[in-house]
Amino acid sequence: MKTVLLGVSASISAYKAADLISQLKKHDLNVEVIMTQNSTKIIPPLTLQVLSKNSVHLDVMTEAVPTDINHIDLVKRADLFIIAPATANIIGKIANGIADDMLSTTALAVHDMPLLIAPAMNTYMYAHPAVQANLERLQRFGYNIIEPKISLLACGDYGKGALADVDQIVATILTTLNLNKKEEQD
């Protein structure tokens, strides 16, 4: 069974992580979830724990198993790393090597696997040159960007910045893991 390491940051669309996990589980994928502290104010970790059937990882300083280094061991068990939704904050942290929480620390330990990031933020934030420069930098680091869609945003603005549809994110994950061909044969 393949393992998807899913990072959830504090976009209003964090609630969509529940649907994303449910869809990935239907494709027989194991999902390990890392949440930022602020994302837990949008969707409770318990929801994602119940759906993923795995503990949700919140604090880099908490080691559930004393012999493990959690953020390193999560990476070693994963086949794909994705952050969905990815806020301007987490994008900036990773692009600039800042590791000050569980998600950013784990992201900097990721290597030798597909990297996906699905931005979700206000359209003006998304278009800001700093965010665009950080996304370009992440692409140079090997991340594939799942482009946000144009939509009416939670703040009332209309434009590019809404999290891509969950179906699109799932399809990208399946394609990246080469799982679509298996399903077509079944």
pLDDT band at 183 (very low <50, low <70, confident <90, very high): very low
Which residue, among 184, 38, 13, 29, has the nearest Cα to 104 in the 3D structure? 38
Provide the 3-class DSSP secondary structure of residue 120.
coil
Q: Are strands 149-152 and 158-162 parallel, antiparallel or unpaired?
A: antiparallel
Give the CATH number of the domain where residue 8 resides: 3.40.50.1950
The 30-35 sheet, strands edge to edge? 56-57, 30-35, 3-8, 80-86, 115-119, 143-145
Residue of 50, 59, 155, 182 marked active site = 155
* Residue span of the structural domain in which 45 resides: 3-185
43: Cβ contacts below 8 Å, ≥ 6 apart: 8, 14, 15, 17, 18
Residue reference for tokens 């669309």 = 13
Over its C-alpha atoms, the chain yields an Rg (Å, rounded) of 16
Task: Examine the pLDDT at 93 and tell me if it is beyond 50.
Answer: yes
155 given a catalytic annotation? yes
- 59-77: pLDDT as tens digits: 988 877 777 888 999 999 9
Q: How many domains does the chain have?
A: 1
Strand partners, 8: 35
- 128-178: pLDDT as tens digits: 999 999 999 999 999 999 999 999 988 899 999 999 999 999 999 999 999
What percent of the chain shows pLDDT beyond 70? Answer: 97
Are the beta carbons of 107 and 100 closer than 8 angstroms?
A: no
